[in-house]
Amino acid sequence: MPTDAGAAVTLVRNATVLATVDGTTFLVDPLFAPQGAMPPIDDTPNDRNNPLVPMPDVDRSHDAVIVTHRHPDHFDDAAREELGADVPLFCQPAEADEFVEEGFTDVRPVDEEASFDGVTLHRTPGRHGHGELAERMGPVSGFVLDAEETLYLAGDTVWYGPVAETLDRYDPDSVVLNGGAARFNQGEPITMGVDDVTAVRDATDAAVAVVHMEAINHCLLSREELRAETEDVLVPEDGERIEC
């Protein structure tokens, strides 16, 4: 991602990123639990407690929060306790009431688009797996942050038609994908693997970065494997900042 543009992404851990667009920073999918404080995700190839790795020493200051969906590796009890009750919190409409019930006072469900501090947020489709399993995983979303620079946060999705359509519609400067090829003991992966990332890379001229790796027990694709099997894809380490 070039260094002369007006956006930056810091990977905190898993899918937790700080996305800064034209000086406004969004904390995305906060997972703040200490290493090993959460149980493993069931029916997966290993039973290690989550998160697998500690929280890096990162300044998590932010202006607003985006939660793509409420699975516990994207919004956990520790984040709920740490976040300010009055933080502007953007989410899927179907999950807004749960945030309100938890005491958040500035919940902003996004039907199609919203604006904040000069940035337009577009909620985009996602499919969390394949077939019937994707239906059972529930609704998920991505978000496009549009200002002088355009950043597409794809969320927990595999490669499918609406992702390609989002790339065509918004022509983003930068794309952040959730990788790891997360899976259960049966069925296909529910987040992007090598083929999905390659399809995105082939579909856009944007800079492409992949997060959601090596932090949760059912994410089986390693950073080393993804780097070896793709080209022109950024795979940041926890705590690493990328200028977009």
List the domain boundaries for the chain: 7-235
| CATH superfamily, region 7-235 | Ribonuclease Z/Hydroxyacylglutathione hydrolase-like (3.60.15.10)
Confidence (pLDDT) at 196:
98
Residue stretches of the chain with pLDDT short of 70: 1-5
Q: pLDDT by residue (tens digit) across 141-159?
A: 999 999 999 999 999 999 9
* Alpha helix stretches (DSSP H) within 34-160: 77-82, 96-101, 131-137
Confidence (pLDDT) at 100:
98
Q: pLDDT by residue (tens digit) across 178-213?
A: 999 999 999 999 999 999 999 999 999 999 999 999
Confidence (pLDDT) at 6:
77
* Alpha helix stretches (DSSP H) within the chain: 77-82, 96-101, 131-137, 161-170, 194-203, 223-229
Confidence (pLDDT) at 244:
75
Contact 142, 150 (CB under 8 A): no
C-beta atoms surrounding 92 within 10 Å? 20
Is the pTM above the cut of 0.85? yes
